[in-house]
Amino acid sequence: MQYRLSTFFLVFVVLWSSLGVFGVGAIVVFPLTVGLAVLVHRVKALWIGGIAAVAVLGFMLLFPLLVPAMASVRPVARRMQCANNMKQLALALHSYRQAHGCFPPAYVADKNGKPMHSWRVLILPYLELESLYKQYDFNEPWDGPNNKKLLADCPRAFACPSDMVANGQVTSETSYVAVVGANAAWQGDKPQTVGNFGDSSFQTIMLVEATDAGIQWTEPRDLSLDAAQTPSTPTPRVRVLSRHGCVKDFFFTYPRTGANVAMADASVRYLPPDALTPKVLPELLRVGGCTDENTKNLAANGNDYFQTNWDNIAALAVWLVSVAWLFHRAVRSRRKAAENECADAGNQG
């Protein structure tokens, strides 16, 4: 009676853990698992039952776990490529600084102060796009007859892979913008030097993701700090926003909202969702705003900021142990039955 009760309890644990690991797939997994255990118990050649059990159980385990994991590889890769794009832009800004003694201005203005050319055009030579830079005419505005033709040649470094609009076949929009304002890293048409940031370059955001902003890559328009820090005004179209989809596999979950940012020291960080609130974000966008207190939840990059699915991991551990113990019981029972059969045959002889 004790043996039967313990077996019943073990089967119940297998059922519970199967539901935790496979969800509705447990409807198929659980009967197969128990059926294989019965097969191992009844087949006289244990190695045949063992091979069949290992093969089927391996398929049952790997298929539901690997398929979601494989599906999550692409979004994670896009997030990484986005961070790499921002790193490339940040390094180009520093290459410009080394060549000119200062960072490029957010825009080049005409004699009336009207923005004509964007910083994105000024750094083209430092993105190894010298030929595209030479085609740009600084004697006309960014949307002049000649320069308008270059919109279709938007460099891939300005388009986040997760931004479907910026990666369209006929698009010319950028996914990355500067933070411009009196207390921001960019001062409009006034170039900045490293000295302007003091010792806080590693705490100062220069570039942010801003998908769906509708900004052409040559357009001298970016994120205004004044608009970002004024809650009373309507939400500006240019805002910190990314299109990195929610990635959820068996072991980890990556957040949907959040955005990569490039710092003044050329490092790339990741702003988690709770950093994009109207109360927190404006402070972070200021020069030196990413203090230890403000960035206590700030991750090194988007792929480091994830949530571990401990419930799934615990269910998997219980499933593996319980199934292994179930088959151990089946093998032990089969061997004991075989010993009894040999003993009976000996007695009959």
Specify if 59 maps to a domain. Answer: no
CA separation for the pair 302, 273 (Å, rounded): 11
Domain assignment of residue 332, given as a range: 2-42+310-348
| Range with top average pLDDT, 59-73, 122-136, 155-169 | 122-136
Q: What is the per-residue pLDDT across 73-128, written as a single tens digit (0 to 9) for each?
A: 566 677 788 889 999 999 999 999 999 999 999 999 998 999 999 999 999 999 99
Mean pLDDT of 294-298: 58
> Which secondary-structure segment (H or E) carries 189?
none
Same domain, 194 and 290: yes
Same domain, 300 and 318: no
| pLDDT > 90: percent of the chain | 28
Specify if 283 maps to a domain. Answer: yes
Specify if 57 maps to a domain. Answer: no
Mean pLDDT of 251-262: 74
Same domain, 115 and 24: no
Specify if 51 maps to a domain. Answer: no
pLDDT for position 309:
75
SS3 of 199, please? coil
Question: Which of 293, 308, 323 corresponds to the end of one domain?
Answer: 308
Same domain, 184 and 85: yes
Distances from the Cα of 13 to the Cα of 16, 30, 323, angstroms: 5, 11, 9
Same domain, 223 and 125: yes
Specify if 53 maps to a domain. Answer: no
Same domain, 293 and 320: no
What is the domain count for the chain? 2
Same domain, 160 and 211: yes
CA separation for the pair 36, 74 (Å, rounded): 36
Side-by-side strand order, sheet with 268-271: 223-224, 176-180, 205-209, 259-263, 268-271
HSE-CB of 327 using CA atoms within 13 angstroms: 20
Phi, psi of 210 (to 5 degrees): -150, 70
pLDDT for position 302:
44
Same domain, 272 and 317: no
Closest CA to 177 of 75, 270, 107, 130: 107
pLDDT for position 199:
80
Specify if 61 maps to a domain. Answer: no
Same domain, 22 and 169: no
Same domain, 304 and 315: no
pTM of the predicted structure, to 2 decimals? 0.67
